[in-house]
């Protein structure tokens, strides 16, 4: 049995889902002294090298992971994914142990509300704009005496997509 979802409600669900997906990925890193276990962090570790000049290594490198323990040492669970060829992918799980005194910085990954709000508004505006350009919403007819037995709202493609579909023979 097929369930019919009204056009406006379906579009609202799609819009809310797209906004939630895009807005969920706006994060930033803030400095922290003592992260709690389970906190996603980025640590900056100094790189010691004997090479000097223009071809030297950077002064530090960063590792992203989740804090397992933070007492006299920092235990960080990391995950790295590597692609080998077109269809082979290997995920490496490792636990790094570092002395907090040797680290250059510890940064906690937190949700950035300003970026998330901006991105959500931008996506919402884009979806509404595209929806307005490519569709027109026309209401169905209601029989005399009410009842609402008509087909309800229907989506009618605007002239540009309709012309493209006619050229393609659909």
DSSP 53: S
Cα(105)–Cα(102) distance, integer angstroms: 9
Cα(22)–Cα(17) distance, integer angstroms: 9
Cα(36)–Cα(38) distance, integer angstroms: 6
The pLDDT of residue 74: 92
Beta pairing partners, 89 = 83
Chain segment 87-138, per-residue pLDDT in tens: 888 888 999 999 998 899 999 999 888 887 887 788 778 877 777 776 655 4
The pLDDT of residue 66: 94
* Nearest alpha carbon to residue 153 among 29, 9, 30, 50: 9
Highest averaged pLDDT of the listed ranges 40-49, 54-63, 70-79, 143-152: 70-79
The pLDDT of residue 161: 65
Chain segment 51-80, per-residue pLDDT in tens: 677 777 778 888 999 999 998 899 999 998
Q: Tell me the C-alpha to C-alpha distance, in Å, between residue 107 and each of 18, 27, 65.
A: 29, 12, 11
No. of H helices and E strands in the chain? 3, 8
What would the DSSP string read from start to end of 89-156?
EEEEEEEEEE-GGG-SEEEEEEE-HHHHHHHHHHHHHHHHHHHHHHEEEEPPP--TT----S---EEE
């Amino acid at each position: 049995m097929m369930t019919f979802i009204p056009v406006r409600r379906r579009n609202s669900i799609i819009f809310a889902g797209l906004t939630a997906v895009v807005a969920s990925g706006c994060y930033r890193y803030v400095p922290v002294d003592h992260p709690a276990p389970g906190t996603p962090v980025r640590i900056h570790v100094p790189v010691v090298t004997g090479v000097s000049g223009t071809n030297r290594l950077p002064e530090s490198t960063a590792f992203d992971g989740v804090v397992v323990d933070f007492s006299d040492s920092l235990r960080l669970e990391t995950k790295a994914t590597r692609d080998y060829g077109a269809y082979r992918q290997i995920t490496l799980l490792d636990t790094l142990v570092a002395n907090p005194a040797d680290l250059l910085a510890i940064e906690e990954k937190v949700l950035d509300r300003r970026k998330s709000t901006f991105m959500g508004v931008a996506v919402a505006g884009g979806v509404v704009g595209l929806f307005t350009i490519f569709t027109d919403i026309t209401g169905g007819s209601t029989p005399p005496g009410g009842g609402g037995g008509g087909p309800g709202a229907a989506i009618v493609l605007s002239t540009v997509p309709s012309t493209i579909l006619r050229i393609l023979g659909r």
